[in-house]
Amino acid sequence: MTEVPEHLLKRAAERRAALSGEKGGDGGGEAPPPDQPGGGEPAQEPAGGGGGPAPARAATATATATAQVTAGAGAAAPVGPAGHTQRLLTVVKAGSIQDVKATPVDKVHVWPHLLVGEFVASLAMTAFLLVFSAFVNAPLLGTANPNLTPNPSKAPWYFLGLQELLTMFHPMVAGVTIPGMGIFGLMFAGYIDKNPSHKPEDRKFAIALFTLFMMFWATLVIVGSFFRGEGFNFIFPWRQGVHEIFDL
């Protein structure tokens, strides 16, 4: 924030005092600079001859707008109490109209540096997906039969962590409370975590907690996917194979 120079503040105060004094006085004698856009006080055209005052505006380096008014024919010269022909209209702070960068940032052009990378990544992904899909078919079991429950019945893999929790907790806890807390805890991470640092060495607790959270889910999903056989009982996949118990 820029400090307003002392002499300008003083001059503005004087001018304001002078103006209010004039208003309290005869009323018709006030002669502020006319046609001043953004000027605080209501401006009145001085009743005079044909050639009105010609205002010329100039902005000084200290961001004060000065209004120099040359008196026209017969019009009273709008001069301040100490003979000033300018007044302080506004002070524009440095940060409000232009962003002053304290530290220059090392930047590169999006074209070609970013776009080429994105293009290559999308091509690689397309190629992988095409080749993988050419060799591995999506599962299509027999047509849906509500009277024939497969054993085991499993949710999609990303919900198998929840299904695994079902074996340990009441359904409301496993299916609603824990995942709900997980989602909302995650959502408000940015408001809960007050540590401003981005450096891993300053964030040991947050990183440990999040890693634990991710490992917890990964373990549950893996156990639910591969270690649960008939009746959702614990099995070892290398003894029975995963064909019967897991499908994508």
Residue 111 vs residues 9, 57, 108, 121, 183: alpha-carbon distances, Å: 50, 44, 9, 15, 37
Q: Which of residues 184-203 bind other proteins (CB under 8 A)?
A: 186-191, 193, 195-200, 203
Q: Which is nearer to other proteins, 98 or 137 (by Cβ)?
A: 137
Q: Which of residues 58-87 bind other proteins (CB under 8 A)?
A: none
Q: Which is nearer to other proteins, 9 or 183 (by Cβ)?
A: 183
Handedness of CA 147, 148, 154, 157 (dihedral sign): negative
Residue 50 touching other proteins (CB under 8 A): no
CB of residue 83 to other proteins, shortest distance in Å: 51
DSSP string, 59-87: E-TTS-EEEEEE--SSPPP---TTS----
Residue 208 touching other proteins (CB under 8 A): no
Q: Which of residues 141-180 bind other proteins (CB under 8 A)?
A: 141-146, 148-150, 153-159, 162-163, 166, 171-172, 174-176
Q: Which is nearer to other proteins, 61 or 138 (by Cβ)?
A: 138
Q: Which of 117, 181, 216, 240 binds other proteins (CB under 8 A)?
A: 117
Select the span of 43-51, 68-76, 88-96, 129-137 touching other proteins (CB under 8 A).
129-137
Q: What three-state secondary structure class fits 58?
A: strand
- Rounded Cα–Cα distance for residues 82 and 6 (Å): 17
Dihedral-angle region of residue 234 (phi above 0 means left; psi in -120 to 50 means alpha; beta otherwise):
beta
Per-residue x/- track, 83-102, other proteins (CB under 8 A):
--------------------
Q: Which is nearer to other proteins, 98 or 145 (by Cβ)?
A: 145
- Rounded Cα–Cα distance for residues 60 and 87 (Å): 11
